[in-house]
Amino acid sequence: MQLKKITIIILAIFTLLLPMPLAAYDLNEKIQLHGFASQGYLDSSGNNFLSDSLGGTFDFNEIGVNLNVRFTDKLRFGGQIMSRKMGNYGDNRIRLDWGLVDYRFQDWAGVRLGKVKIPLGLYNTERDSDFLRPMIFLPQSIYDETRRDTWLAQWGGELYGNVALDAFGDFDYKLFYGRIKYEGDSVYHDSTLANINRRLADNLTSPNPDPLLPSHINQCDRDNDYLYGANLIYSPPIENLRLGISYVSQKDTSYADNVKIGEYKTNSYFVFSLEYAWWNLSLSAEYGENDRTQTLYDVTTFDGPNQAWYVMLTYSATDRLGFSVLYDEYWKDKYNKDYSIHASGRYNSTPWRKDWGFGVRYDINENWTVKGEWHIVDGSALLLEFFNPDGTERYWQYGAVKASFNF
Partner 1 sequence: MGKPLKTIMLLLLLMLYGAPGSCLAAEIILVVNHDNPLTGITWRAAERIFLSKKTEWTQGEHIHVVVNNEPEVYASFCRDILKKTSLQYLLYRKKMLFNGSGIPPRVMNNDEEVKDFVASAKDAIGFIRQESLDSRVKLLVIR
Provide the binding-site residues for partner 1, judged by CB under 8 A. 26, 29, 32, 34, 36, 64, 66, 68, 70, 73-74, 76, 78-80, 98, 100, 102, 104, 106-107, 112, 116-117, 125-126, 128-129, 131-132, 162, 164, 166, 169-170, 172, 237, 239-240, 277, 279-283, 311, 313, 315-316, 319-320, 322, 325, 327, 329, 354, 356, 363, 366, 406
Nearer to partner 1, 98 or 398 (CB): 98
Nearer to partner 1, 126 or 202 (CB): 126
CB 178, CB 156: distance < 8 Å: yes
Mapped onto helix, strand or coil, the DSSP state of residue 195 is helix
CB 13, CB 368: distance < 8 Å: no
Fill in the amino acid letter for 267: N
Q: How many whole angstroms from its chain centre is CA 71?
A: 31
Closest separation in Å from C-beta 202 to partner 1: 35
Mapped onto helix, strand or coil, the DSSP state of residue 304 is strand
Backbone angle region of 203, left / alpha / beta, with phi > 0 → left and psi within -120 to 50 → alpha: alpha
Nearer to partner 1, 319 or 338 (CB): 319
Closest separation in Å from C-beta 235 to partner 1: 9
Angle ∠(49,45,342) on CA atoms, nearest 5: 65
Closest separation in Å from C-beta 53 to partner 1: 25
Closest separation in Å from C-beta 62 to partner 1: 11
* Helix, strand, coil tally for the chain in percent (to 5): 15, 55, 35
Nearer to partner 1, 17 or 217 (CB): 17
Nearer to partner 1, 215 or 280 (CB): 280
Closest separation in Å from C-beta 374 to partner 1: 16
Closest separation in Å from C-beta 1 to partner 1: 31
Mapped onto helix, strand or coil, the DSSP state of residue 145 is helix
Nearer to partner 1, 64 or 87 (CB): 64
The DSSP annotation for 234-269 comes to EE-SSTTEEEEEEEEEEEEEEEETTEEEEEEEEEEE
